[in-house]
Structure 1
Amino acid sequence: MEQGSGEYFVRIGVGSPPTSQYMVVDSGSDIVWVQCKPCSQCYPQSDPLFDPTISASFSGVSCSSAACDRLAAETSSTSNSAASASCRDSDRCRYEVSYGDGSYTKGTLALETLTFHDSAVVHDVAIGCGHSNKGMFVGAAGLLGLGGGSMSFVGQLGGQAGGAFSYCLVSRRSGSGSGSGKLEFGRGAMPVGATWIPLVRNPRAPSFYYVGLSGLGVGGVRVPVPEDLFRLTELGDGGVVMDTGTAVTRLPGPAYAALRDAFVAQAGDLPRTGSGVSIFDTCYNLNGFVSVRVPTVSFYFSEGPVLTLPANNFLIPVDDGGTFCLAFAASASRLSIIGNVQQQGIQISFDGANGFAGFGPNVC
């Protein structure tokens, strides 16, 4: 698994013979899809477009198929993505997925063979063959959905994986020659010695992996934030989601402001810049510094565990001139998202069948 511009990629062989493609790893959505020929609208990607006509294992899905029925049954909308199936003009099952940032993919549903590491072969995976696609996927050919729904890759593995997978996102500052991250599926991927917390189920957004967050900490001290800001309501609003497809952690406005103010107060010796950068409003000019001491940032989970982040996971470089910013931002809604910047370097595991998420014990 490798890093892109804000996303993490996995190299997958699509079809027979396998055509290698970079796919975005996204635990916040379900549908697996790849850009396909012929393409009426495609964004630039680093690999040649996948051509289904030269794959011996590519099989279009009919409207009466179980896969099309499953996609239609799961048609739902969350703050992150919305998926739908239709059969307007032919017997072929058509799909459409739109994402919260305005990206989308449209095309036909098919069954195809996916190959991992040149040896692990999974047959008859329902994938979207995207003929009209738009988004900031920066070179990736498509997306590997790892959400909690039955149409995700994990869901389609069924008993082979038992709803379980584990990953370790390599740190962005580890250097290009330091190796790749790791993505593993199945019960055997569940680590011994991890710290486990219960997953919180939201019937209105079954694709998301919700966790119970009770508070935030800076410098080992809890920030005065009401726990209700992180609570999932009976109507399915709010809550806290862990998502590899989102880069920066988003918090409800009052929670973010409290975290930022506590960090600024404890990092008073660091020189702040006169303005923010992009979505970041708290930045520092660290040009010329060999090392700096910064307060820690921690997540306090509802069942007791505390996850304290390394500095690389919350103070990140945004240019080549020594500008570093606090890598959190205010959410436009009550939903909180723990993004991949905060997850990097930490082994993360999901045991969907038993309803737990795990941290550690390994690092990457």
Structure 2
Amino acid sequence: MFLPFLALAILLIFSPTTIATTPSEIKNSTHEIFNVKESIAQLDTKPQTPFENQEEYHVDNEIEQESGNLKLKLNLIHRDKLQIPHFPYNNDKVFEGRISRDLKRVSSIIHRIENGGVNYRVKEFGSDLISGMDQGSGEYFVRVGVGSPPKNQYMVLDSGSDIVWVQCQPCTQCYHQSDPVFDPSLSVSFTGVSCGSSVCDRVENSGCHSGRCKYEVMYGDGSYTKGTMAIETLTFGHTMVKDVAIGCGHSNSGMFTAAAGLLGLGGGSMSLVGQLGGQTGGAFSYCLVSRGTDSTGSLEFGRGVLPVGAAWVPLIRNPLTPSFYYIGLSGLGVGGARVPISEDVFKITELGDGGVVMDTGTAVTRLPSEAYVAFREAFVAETASLPRAPAVSIFDTCYDLDGFVTVRVPTVSFFLSGGQILTLPARNFLIPVNDKGTFCFAFAPSPSKLSIIGNIQQEGIQISFDGANGFVGFGPNIC
């Protein structure tokens, strides 16, 4: 299980050349002291939200609406905190399950990009056309009220998806979720979408059944959702957002266990970001709080949430896959020194391959093999004094830190476009994989030219998207 390490504060200091970190924990700019003992102790963290008590997690959501500008703030909860009926918590299975989900997530993202976002047919849906939105299930949940009166549901946060959907009654096939399945017949605000509506025109590969707009999405890991489109009210805290187009899934299967559905935050018009449009100015910000703590992360919408003092980097759009948020990455650093890797390794090709995607649903950052090998070897050279351990799952660089209280490790950095450098705290790249003191370098080679910056590397850093102006910001706040 990838639990957090010591609560290192991240003080992001921005200049043309650095986004520096944790002055209290770093002996110098090239190395820092990492608390091994505390990291292992946090592996004992159990789910904090048993089924009967999960309701408490939505009470602190905040909403402000002034002069037509909408500002939303929601709590983010990691899926490992949820405990649901029929699925008793088993700490020994958490690591294995997370790696399995992560492999499927990465495979599905690459599949989508390599197919240029085009649609494909799958056996499960017969001859129906299936949307090319084939991401995985994600790792973080938000609490959202669906319908009127609102029924609170946990929904997967997905920055690479362009649809909002929940499981709906009557359910011909539904997976287990932590809340009762949403019943649209009990909602006075639920309105079906007709086949000829503008909403149906915007749904990728929509169909028509009995006059109602039909949607079907097949994800790359074999998960799917299938049902009808509707206009519904979503409630965040105590404030309602009306007329949101959602998918009402009557047949669903896959890795979404615990969540009721998916809250898409991608770059398309049908994502929540796209639908809120002018109300939030295409702006949102999130903090993925570290695992193993009792606190929650946050997800905020609205231009008012964009921080002053962030390091802003241009977003790069790939027309073949407009749902994903690409950023410019020029290189990697270890121990304060830049690793010799060509910038071309991280660029999007004319065919739409490659590039660097920010993704909330992928846990472990993936890098093209050429970049990963050079990066890993630089890290290994700087940690030669630490005892090695055998490879674990997708991790080929692991250490036996049993018996250590602290260790000195090199800093790891992302060289971003425009000269910015994002230096990560050690807990974002050296992670415990068991309670026996085995820690691994939390990066892996990509099976393609695509790089994916995963949520382990994003933890604790405020990340903001200014879609209207085409920028992503890092910091300056911590979470």
When normalised by structure 2's length, the TM-score is: 0.70
Corresponding position of 2:478: 363
User: After the TM superposition, which residues 169-318 of structure 1 pair with which residues of structure 2 at under 5 Å, given as runs?
Assistant: 169-173=288-292, 175=293, 177=294, 179-274=295-390, 276-318=391-433
Q: CA deviation at 1:234?
A: 2.0
Q: Quick one: structure 1 residues 100 and 263, their matched pair in 2 at CA, closer, same or farther if it must change by over 3 Å?
A: farther
Corresponding position of 1:156: 275
Q: Secondary structure at the match of 1:2?
A: strand
- Distance in 2 (alpha carbons) for counterparts of 1:259 and 1:41: 45
- Distance in 2 (alpha carbons) for counterparts of 1:204 and 1:60: 30
Q: Which has the larger radius of gyration?
A: 2
- Distance in 2 (alpha carbons) for counterparts of 1:324 and 1:138: 28
Corresponding position of 2:464: 349
- Distance in 2 (alpha carbons) for counterparts of 1:138 and 1:280: 26
Corresponding position of 1:15: 147
Question: Is 2:163 the partner of 1:48?
Answer: no
Match of 1:111 among 224, 231, 237: 231
Q: Secondary structure at the match of 2:330?
A: strand
When you count helix as a share of all residues, which structure comes out higher? 2
Q: CA deviation at 1:333?
A: 1.5
Corresponding position of 2:219: 99
Decide whether the 8 Å contact of 1:33 with 1:144 is kept in 2. yes
Q: Secondary structure at the match of 2:300?
A: strand
- Distance in 2 (alpha carbons) for counterparts of 1:53 and 1:270: 61
Q: Percent identity?
A: 73
Q: CA deviation at 1:64?
A: 0.7
Structure 2: gaps of 5 or more residues: 1-75, 81-97, 99-138
- Distance in 2 (alpha carbons) for counterparts of 1:59 and 1:350: 31
Corresponding position of 1:336: 451
Q: Quick one: structure 1 residues 283 and 41, their matched pair in 2 at CA, closer, same or farther if it must change by over 3 Å?
A: farther
Corresponding position of 1:27: 159
Corresponding position of 2:197: 65
After superposition, what is the alpha-carbon deviation per residue over 1:92-120, rounded to whole angstroms, capped at 9, x for unaligned?
11112233333221111111111112x23
- Distance in 1 (alpha carbons) for counterparts of 2:219 and 2:415: 29
When normalised by structure 1's length, the TM-score is: 0.92
Structure 2 letter corresponding to 1:124 = D
- Distance in 1 (alpha carbons) for counterparts of 2:176 and 2:401: 35
Structure 2 letter corresponding to 1:29 = S
Mean Cα deviation higher: 144-153 or 279-288: 279-288
Q: Quick one: structure 1 residues 136 and 270, their matched pair in 2 at CA, closer, same or farther if it must change by over 3 Å?
A: farther
Structure 1: gaps of 5 or more residues: 76-83
Q: Secondary structure at the match of 2:263?
A: strand
Structure 2 letter corresponding to 1:113 = T
Q: Secondary structure at the match of 1:93?
A: strand
- Distance in 2 (alpha carbons) for counterparts of 1:289 and 1:90: 66
Q: CA deviation at 1:335?
A: 1.3
Decide whether the 8 Å contact of 1:4 with 1:138 is kept in 2. no
Q: CA deviation at 1:63?
A: 0.9
Q: Secondary structure at the match of 1:360?
A: strand
Corresponding position of 2:79: 4
Q: CA deviation at 1:323?
A: 1.8
Question: Is 2:241 the partner of 1:122?
Answer: yes
Query: Segments of 4+ in structure 1 off by > 4 A?
Result: none
Q: CA deviation at 1:26?
A: 0.8
- Distance in 2 (alpha carbons) for counterparts of 1:123 and 1:242: 29
Residues matched between the structures, number: 347
- Distance in 1 (alpha carbons) for counterparts of 2:405 and 2:221: 37
- Distance in 2 (alpha carbons) for counterparts of 1:272 and 1:138: 36
After superposition, what is the alpha-carbon deviation per residue over 1:265-317, rounded to whole angstroms, capped at 9, x for unaligned?
1111222212x222222222222222222111111012110101111111112
Of structures 1 and 2, the one with the larger relative CO (CA 8 A, separation 6+) is 2
Corresponding position of 1:85: 206
Q: CA deviation at 1:331?
A: 1.3
- Distance in 1 (alpha carbons) for counterparts of 2:79 and 2:405: 27
- Distance in 2 (alpha carbons) for counterparts of 1:328 and 1:257: 10
Mean Cα deviation higher: 262-271 or 140-149: 262-271
Structure 2 letter corresponding to 1:61 = V
Corresponding position of 1:78: none
